[in-house]
Amino acid sequence: MSFGFRNRGIQFSIERAKHQCITSIKVLKCIIRNRISQAISKTMAQHPDISSVLRLLQIPTKVHSVYLVGSRLWGTHSAKSDFDLFIVVADPVSTSAFQKSQHKGRYDATLLTDTEFRAQVEKGSLIETICCLMPETEECVLLHDEEHSRRALIGKGHFHTMRIWMDERRQRDREKAMKFWSKGSEVREKGWKILQHAITAECILRGLQRVVDEEDIEPQDVNLTQETLRQLVASGREDGDRAWLGMEWRDVQVAHEERLERIKRTS
């Protein structure tokens, strides 16, 4: 009699263990699925599905290159930041229906033709230069057409050309920032961002020149990684920058000029 009870007890223990094991496996599978889902969502949030984005945009010609720019390139973005895209397309037969700036959902796209892109590089424009020097393996290079290499557009004297472009741009940007300052504290943030862009540009140019000098290479041979770019951007940020928002314009202008001069001396 006791032997039968003992068998039933053993069988019950085995069944309970099997049930617990099955339950544990189900829980583990659920955890794995959730973590995979979270990882996919995080990846999609950081890196847009470029094929889906291009389908949303009205582009009447072939797309050659797509770059992620703006705060998500600089590393100053938040989870709610939009995706700023820089799209280089083939020269269209007609430009009448060619919409250069488009906003779809969380995507802000700026479209340039190959001819326009080349012209901007020749002027020394910062963002086009960055796009040229980024290796195609970088995450910010969302689409790369091997038949249209941008690196060859960078000449020996390109950084000097960039310096001229930046100096001219800086004066225009200060005038824009001053207008925002004159409108009151509600819109000073826009002017502050413009001044920060000038600091960012100075840090990047000084960093690029340093690489050329230290490695004894030509400007077009610089491999500008996204990590390096973000380090250069971060080097121009200081904790007290936002205090400028509470200052009068003349004091802000002095502080901004002193910051730029300090970057030139320390780079």
Does residue 8 carry a pLDDT above 60? no
Closest CA to 114 of 148, 74, 152, 154: 148
What residues contact 89, with CB distance under 8 A and at least 6 apart? Answer: 59, 61, 62, 63, 64, 111, 112, 113, 114
Residue 154 CB burial class (10 angstroms; 0-12, 13-18, ≥19): buried
Does residue 79 carry a pLDDT above 90? no
Pairing relationship of beta strands 101-104 and 63-69 according to DSSP bridges: unpaired
Residue 29 confidence class, pLDDT cut points 50, 70, 90 = very low
Residue 5 confidence class, pLDDT cut points 50, 70, 90 = very low
Radius of gyration of the chain (CA): 27
Both tokens of residue 229?
């770019």
Q: State the angle between helix axes of 114-123 and 158-182 in degrees (0 to 180), rounded to the nearest 10.
A: 90
Query: pLDDT by residue (tens digit) across 146-194?
Result: 777 789 999 999 999 999 999 999 999 999 999 999 998 889 999 999 9
The predicted model gives 7-14 an average pLDDT of 55
Question: In this predicted structure, what is the pLDDT of residue 48?
Answer: 67
The predicted model gives 108-136 an average pLDDT of 94
User: To which H or E segment does residue 108 belong?
Assistant: strand 107-113
Distance, in Å, from the CA atom of 228 to the CA atom of 250, rounded to the nearest integer, reads 33
Does residue 96 carry a pLDDT above 80? no
Both tokens of residue 109?
């796209």
Q: Domain 50-153's class?
A: alpha beta
Mean pLDDT in the chain? 83
57 vs 118: which has the higher pLDDT = 118
126, 162 Cβ separation under 8 angstroms: yes
- Which strand ranges, in their side-by-side order, compose the sheet holding 101-104? 101-104, 107-113, 83-89, 63-69, 141-143
Does residue 36 carry a pLDDT above 70? no
Residue 46 confidence class, pLDDT cut points 50, 70, 90 = low
Does residue 33 carry a pLDDT above 50? no
The predicted model gives 214-220 an average pLDDT of 95
Distance, in Å, from the CA atom of 229 to the CA atom of 184, rounded to the nearest integer, reads 33
The CA distances from residue 149 to 4, 42, 54, 91, 180, in Å, are 82, 31, 21, 16, 39
Question: In this predicted structure, what is the pLDDT of residue 183?
Answer: 93
pTM recorded for the entire structure: 0.77
Does residue 258 carry a pLDDT above 90? yes
